[in-house]
């Protein structure tokens, strides 16, 4: 059914629909009951109080369930914590017993040999063959691309020379 305390209900009461969470509906019906009591309508007052009581019981049972779930979770958490505490105490007891019998130093010895004591390979200079150094080329090593020069616009053919079929002479300057 989900979380009843936050769920929105539609209640069809004598005055029409009332919509909201159970607490909002309870408040609305209690207000309607007070209004009916002030107007002297005992039947309407009782009716509104009964509607409010219904949602009050619904809300109360949901809150009891939530409280029971919360208590169960707390109980489980306490049990888990107690189990962790017992395991921690056992582990510390074991460690203290082992420390008394073995008398090992506090520093843990690594099974792998010290790398400083192992022989190191010699560095060999390899001759560069055909410009290949044997290294992997990365983008940082690549030369930067040359910036492109802007192109000069082409001259239009009519500006350079008259067309082959054009026998007209260029206009002469006026005097």
Confirm if 62 and 5 have CB atoms less than 8 A apart. Answer: yes
Is this model's pTM higher than 0.75 or not?
no
At residue 58 the predicted structure's pLDDT band, cuts being 50, 70 and 90, is very high
Contacts for 162 with CB less than 8 Å, ≥ 6 apart: 168, 170
pLDDT for the residue 163: 54
Residue (of 30, 90, 33) closest to 55 by Cα position: 30
SS3 1: coil
26 against 134, higher pLDDT? 26
HSE of 161 in the Cβ direction (CA atoms, 13 Å)? 3
pLDDT tens, residue by residue, 73-86: 999 999 999 999 99
């Amino acid at each position: 059914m989900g979380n009843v305390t936050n769920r929105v209900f539609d209640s069809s009461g004598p005055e029409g629909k009332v919509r909201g969470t159970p607490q909002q509906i309870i408040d609305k019906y209690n207000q309607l009951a007070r209004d009916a009591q002030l107007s002297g309508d005992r039947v309407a007052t009782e009716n509104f109080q009964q509607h409010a009581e219904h949602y009050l019981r619904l809300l109360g049972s949901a809150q009891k369930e939530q409280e029971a779930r919360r208590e169960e979770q707390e109980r489980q958490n306490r049990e888990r914590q107690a189990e962790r505490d017992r395991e921690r105490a056992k582990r510390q007891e074991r460690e203290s017993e082992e420390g008394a019998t073995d008398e090992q130093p506090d520093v843990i010895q690594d099974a792998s040999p010290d790398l400083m004591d192992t022989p190191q390979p010699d560095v060999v200079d390899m001759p560069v063959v055909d410009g290949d150094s044997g290294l992997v080329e990365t983008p940082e090593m690549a030369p930067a691309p040359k910036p492109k020069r802007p192109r000069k616009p082409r001259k239009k053919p009519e500006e350079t020379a008259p067309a082959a079929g054009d026998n007209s002479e260029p206009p002469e300057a006026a005097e």
